Amino acid sequence: MGGVCVSGLGRCTQNATVSGFNILTSTVQNGNELVQVSATYSADIFTDAGGIPGAFLGHLVLPGTANFTYVGRNPSVNPLGTFFTELPDFDFLGTLNGNTFEVKKDPTKASTGSTTISQITTAAPTYLVSSSLQIFAIYSFNGSPFTPAPPRTTDLVPVSGSVPEPGSGVLAGSILAGVLVESLRRRIRSRPDALRS
């Protein structure tokens, strides 16, 4: 998996993953499904040696939360279809060797896209979930001013190809994992001087 160097922070990440999704709240409000999940972002952190990873600093683990809004989706009424999707907030914060690192949504820009959910089997139902989202994130190391990352559009189909009932945390979790990991992959592709792992 690729990584990203954020020159404004003097740090590079490699092997980023998002896992351990748990639903904190799931409600339907004004015809929209609102889901908040907890999850853990993890990555290997290196110094930035001119746009490529330098000295290994350690393995970073950031607990956090994310909020999703699936516009026009009520799982008990219309669980299937294509839904405008908003990512109004995500925030992961933790420490590494006594230093803090945080990645969160850029509050000045909307992170939006669409999610399509279709049923692929009827016995023990499973569902195919695909999403396309444009994501705006900002990063901070050791309390430094937040540095914006370029916007990224991520297209996600879960690795497993199907998920259980799409009202579960797997729906939001699958999207967020793709959002953060693909954002890092695409950022590294945009920097020819960056090192891939």
Could you tell me the residue ranges of all domains in the chain? 4-189
Q: How confident is the model at residue 107 (pLDDT cuts 50, 70, 90)?
A: very high
Distance, CA of 24 to CA of 21 (rounded, Å): 9
Residues sharing a CB contact under 8 Å with residue 168, sequence separation 6 or more, in sequence order: 23
pLDDT of residue 180: 45
Higher pLDDT: 97 or 182? It is 97
Label the pairing between strands 99-105 and 137-141. Answer: antiparallel
Report pTM: 0.72
Contact criterion met (CB below 8 Å) for 175 and 85: yes
Among the ranges given (66-70, 139-143, 165-169), the one the predictor scored with the smallest mean pLDDT: 165-169
